[in-house]
Amino acid sequence: MNIAILFGGSSYEHEISIVSAITMKKVLKKSTLTYIFVDANREFYLIDTDKMNSKLFSSGEYKKGKSLILKKGGFFAEGMFGSKKVDFDVALNLIHGRDGEDGKIASLMEFFAIPFISPRLEASALSYNKLYTKFLAENLGVKTVAYEHLSRDDERKISMAYPVIIKPVRLGSSIGVSIVKNADELDYALDVAFEFDSDVIVEPFIEGVKEYNQAGCLTDAWELSIVEEPQKEAFLDFEKKYMDFSRDAQVLSADISDELKERIQTAFKKIYDPLFRGSVIRCDFFVVEDEVLLNEINPIPGSMANYLFPDFEGMLTRLSKALPKEKKIQVDYAYIHSIQSAKGKA
């Protein structure tokens, strides 16, 4: 299978996307990979797979690659003798943060009728915004971590007991996130978060909380990853998460009961189906006082959470054959013709 890896984007997580894209070279060994880079100016470039390394982008050398444009059915390189289509079977959206996770790329792919693996527009909008994710989960009967919402112009007061964690609503990778231990630290943490976003959510910081990650997708059947219990420090900052996004080695399943595993997977399925069909997502759950609580949805997880699956590449192939199809609408202008006929009779 020929997979086009879309990566980069106009995003605070631009560099993380590059790391994830490079990791795919190690993971997708049986597939032919076509790399399409979206730079910070939202220009598309075809990248030579053999030249895929971080320096290519930090140095600006990527601009020597072929510039691409989007047209009906795919990406095209314009040349002296016309347009040449970039050949691939399916595009894998690996743009983290804005552009990739907010629905822009999904909208472009659907508009230009390009088969792609990624959350669709509605799923992107609801998972990109942490506040909307809360609303979605609550509506689906999946419990979430308690929260408060603050906008930039709101009074800086919270009713939640300290310590708390402050998160920008529309960012991932721990960017702009702070742990606040007392009221004296609140203003500074909000200043940091509001540098990146106009809205934040405030959640209780639960020391030593049990966290479990579940990834998966729906092809012709459920394909669920192992349940992972990430071995990590109390808080992962941007640099530690940056390194985490280059993972390509299998990890061990969490040592939990079958009953807890089933509850985590049931919650995951409620979140995924039908909204996230056509994508591979990862949901992060907390278990507090034996309750499974959704912490976050990762609509485009780092390195696509490949390390949680025994057959990640095979799963992508199967998913590419089970993508949702947009309904074709036939326009026959019957209404306009009827108006014209009526006017003619008049």
Domains of the chain, by residue range, sit at: 2-124, 148-204, 207-320
Which of 82, 84, 83, 143 lies closest to 288 in space, CA to CA? 143
Q: What is the largest CA-CA distance in the chain?
A: 79
Q: Model confidence over 237-292: pLDDT tens digits?
A: 545 554 555 566 678 899 999 999 999 999 999 999 999 999 999 999 999 999 99
Q: Model confidence over 116-126: pLDDT tens digits?
A: 999 999 999 99
* Bridge partners for 79 per DSSP: 82
> Has domain 2-124 been given CATH number 3.40.50.20?
yes
Residue that the structure tokens 């309904």 belong to: 327
Looking only at the bridges linking them, the beta strands covering 82-85 and 199-204 are unpaired
Q: How far apart are CA 38 and CA 249, in angstroms?
A: 27
pLDDT at 79: 83
> Has domain 148-204 been given CATH number 3.30.1490.20?
yes
Fill in the DSSP letter of residue 49.
Answer: G
> Where does the pLDDT of residue 345 fall: very low under 50, low under 70, confident under 90, or very high at 90 and above?
low
> Where does the pLDDT of residue 80 fall: very low under 50, low under 70, confident under 90, or very high at 90 and above?
confident
Q: How far apart are CA 230 and CA 269, in angstroms?
A: 20
77 Ramachandran zone, left/alpha/beta (phi>0; psi -120 to 50)? beta
Q: How far apart are CA 30 and CA 25, in angstroms?
A: 10
Q: Model confidence over 149-186: pLDDT tens digits?
A: 999 999 999 999 999 999 999 887 678 899 999 999 99
CATH superfamily of 207-320: ATP-grasp fold, B domain (3.30.470.20)
Q: How far apart are CA 139 and CA 117, in angstroms?
A: 25
Q: Model confidence over 280-333: pLDDT tens digits?
A: 999 999 999 999 999 999 999 999 999 999 999 999 999 999 999 988 999 999
**Phi and psi angles of residue 79, each rounded to the nearest 5 degrees, phi first:** -135, 180
Q: How far apart are CA 267 and CA 313, in angstroms?
A: 25
Looking only at the bridges linking them, the beta strands covering 164-168 and 178-180 are antiparallel
pTM here is 0.89
Q: Is the pLDDT of residue 234 over 70?
A: no
Question: Could you tell me the two tokens for 104?
Answer: 């822009």
Beta carbons within 8 Å of 76's beta carbon, 6+ residues apart: 68, 69, 70, 83, 84, 85, 86
Question: Could you tell me the two tokens for 251?
Answer: 């990890």
